[in-house]
Structure 1
Amino acid sequence: MPSQDVTQRFIFEQADVRGELVSLNESYREILARHDYPEPVKALLGEMLAAAVLLSTAIKFDGLLVMQARSSGPLSTLMVECSSRQEVRGIARYADELSGDTLSELMPDGVLAITVDPERGQRYQGVVALTGTSLADALAGYFDSSEQLPSRFRLLADGQMARGFMLQALPANRETDPAARQETWNRLSTLADTLTVEELKALDNRTILHRLYHEEDVRLFDEQPVCFRCSCSPERSGNALISLGREDAFALLAEQGGEIRVDCQFCNACYRFDQAALQTLFDKAREHARSLH
């Protein structure tokens, strides 16, 4: 059986190809427990959670990776965040009446955006049309068109567990002949296509790799833990109110009957600010501003 909430990298010793396997159980269920999503939405959100973890491990950065799909269809938004520490959270927005259960049916004419927001350095975003019949197809199309890195994905989620498999070509290092590189990629990706949903769901990572690549020289790295963690906090909510400015914040307080509620859409936490709390916020902000001068 797959391990609980981990991601695990593998590389081919004789080829410029890497891969990743992710398993989400408790973290996935914890995200779903905060919202009453229909089954098709649960599945697609789980697939995107797995995909975000796969992609975050492929990028060497400290910060946040955000995947967001938007459409004019019944499923208007899927949004997932994964930090460089593999802390995940996610949310979906959908119509009351859903028609269909596949990505192409729920998100027709959709757009997929992948944003890397590092703690230091420049923010980067790539946007492509949400093509194909599945999120795995859309991601492969994204990397083929935007990153020029041939990639293959297998994703599944059923409301209880989410699993993901990624195979990705790397820049030339071990193999420099273009024809040999293409032949190797074709062989490894063809073998990856034989992985069934049942095997991905039931087998541990080492068994999956042996099943697919027992004739290849593959190195499997140690598992890395994944967890659900929401980045909301009283401090962040307070900073959002401070950004409104003192006059507008107190006007909002009056409009709200003496208490401002700041709700987190991801985890449903609610932060409340009455007049005393709001006064304290702006007093501390003023003191901080003075200390900088």
Structure 2
Amino acid sequence: MSELHTFLFDGLPVRGMIVRLDSAWQEILARRAGNTQTGAYPAPVAELLGEMTAAAALMQSNIKFKGSLILQIFGDGPVKLAVAEAQPDLGLRCTASVQGEVEADAHLPELVNVGNKGRCAITLDPKERLPGQQPYQGVVPLFGDQGEKLHKLSDVLQHYMLQSEQLDTTLVLAADSQVAAGLLIQRLPLAGQANIAGSSQRAEEDHIGLNEDYNRIAVLAASLTREELLTLDVETILRRLFWEEKLLRFEPRAGLLAPRFSCTCSRERVSNMLRTLGQAEAQSILDERGQIEVGCDFCGQQYRFDPVDTAQIFTEPGEQMPGSQVVQ
């Protein structure tokens, strides 16, 4: 059962989230494996995508954004682009473009960042944009402050959050063929937080890396192993890590509210894409193949347009379609 849990550390400026995707993640992998044009992902690519999907769910829930959160990794390795998207209702989807051989023991540098020019982008696309409003996007490199390659997605995202939010963040991510999971711990700003009202902590502790409570909890969180994150249930993980801390738990996102696979593709969206492509280009495809076929990289759905379908796309409302007759 896929689920997401949120919690606060009582009296401390620290919050946490843990997500566990099983049915949702298995459906994503099954759809990819069932796509005759692409086939299943190599294991290292599936692991990276699983971590990205878990991270996207955590970040979407963390910021409570009314729109889609899109996490992208791109570079010069065999994985040219990997994308994970999370909607406000925790509808999730992901895909990757793979070219060339993937070594069985490949990690982030070998998959995406061979020449140390890879990038990570996080885009926030509002559901209802105001006139002239553009999506917000932040981009960070796949290397650290000294130019060293980062070997884990969690390190890249922690670096991003430090730069974008100026808040200490700890992430633990893991995925295999059955489960994608993640744990997020983040320091809250001291000022204005009701759960630490009356605290005598110094203002300096609101600076990055200086809050002792967060640092202690971050060390505990970082001790969680990949195997534990993938195999233990949420209650066991929280008890094993934070048994000495008092947690304030919120209602989990489970059951009907659980994270799940969801694709936003549609025939209408594909039609709009073809309209952007242009009538001349669409006609050239029809002349060559007899129909236009577009597959969704996320869910595998195939959309086919014959000459009549294509003509309708480029016919303005109220305009008579070429070759048609009005029956009196």
- Offset at residue 118 of structure 1 (A): 1.2
- Offset at residue 249 of structure 1 (A): 5.9
Larger Rg: 2
- Offset at residue 147 of structure 1 (A): 2.1
Relative to structure 1, is the Cα distance of residues 256 and 10 closer, same or farther in structure 2, using a 3 angstrom cutoff?
Answer: farther
Moved over 4 A (4+): none
RMSD (Å), alpha carbons = 2.0
Alignment of 1:277-292 (within 5 A): 277-283=309-315, 285-287=316-318
Say how many residue pairs are matched: 283
- Offset at residue 221 of structure 1 (A): 1.6
Which residue is 2:170 aligned to? 152
- Match of 1:286, SS state, is coil
Aligned 8 A contact 1:252 1:260 in 2: no
Write out per-residue CA displacement over residues 231-257 of structure 1, whole angstroms, 9 at most, x where no aligned residue: 111111112223344x43652354344
Q: Distance in 2 between matches of 1:139 and 1:221?
A: 25
TM-score, structure 2 length as denominator? 0.80
Which residue is 2:124 aligned to? 116
- Offset at residue 10 of structure 1 (A): 1.1
Q: Distance in 1 between matches of 2:202 and 2:25?
A: 42
- Match of 2:65, SS state, is coil
- Offset at residue 179 of structure 1 (A): 4.7
2:80 to 69, 76, 88: 76
Relative to structure 1, is the Cα distance of residues 220 and 206 closer, same or farther in structure 2, using a 3 angstrom cutoff?
Answer: farther
Relative to structure 1, is the Cα distance of residues 202 and 244 closer, same or farther in structure 2, using a 3 angstrom cutoff?
Answer: closer
- Offset at residue 105 of structure 1 (A): 2.3
Higher strand share: 1
Matched, 1:17 2:14: yes
Aligned 8 A contact 1:10 1:220 in 2: yes
Matched, 1:178 2:212: no
Q: Distance in 2 between matches of 1:274 and 1:120?
A: 33
Please, which runs of 5 or more residues in structure 2 have no aligned partner? 33-38, 144-149, 320-328
After alignment, is 39-48 or 178-187 more displaced?
A: 178-187
TM-score, structure 1 length as denominator? 0.89
- Match of 2:121, SS state, is strand
Q: Distance in 1 between matches of 2:17 and 2:318?
A: 48
Aligned 8 A contact 1:19 1:167 in 2: yes
Q: Distance in 2 between matches of 1:254 and 1:204?
A: 52
The letter for the 2-side match of 1:134 is K
Which residue is 2:325 aligned to? none
- Match of 2:317, SS state, is helix
1:259 to 283, 286, 291: 291
Which residue is 1:291 aligned to? none
1:107 to 108, 112, 123: 112
Alignment of 1:31-42 (within 5 A): 31-33=28-30, 34=32, 35-42=39-46
Aligned 8 A contact 1:112 1:130 in 2: yes
Q: Distance in 2 between matches of 1:256 and 1:221?
A: 57
Alignment of 1:216-227 (within 5 A): 216-224=245-253, 225-227=258-260
Write out per-residue CA displacement over residues 114-164 of structure 1, whole angstroms, 9 at most, x where no aligned residue: 111111354211100113210111111111123211101111111111111
Please, which runs of 5 or more residues in structure 1 have no aligned partner? 289-293
The letter for the 2-side match of 1:116 is L
- Match of 2:64, SS state, is coil
Q: Distance in 2 between matches of 1:252 and 1:88?
A: 35
Aligned 8 A contact 1:153 1:164 in 2: yes
- Offset at residue 60 of structure 1 (A): 2.0
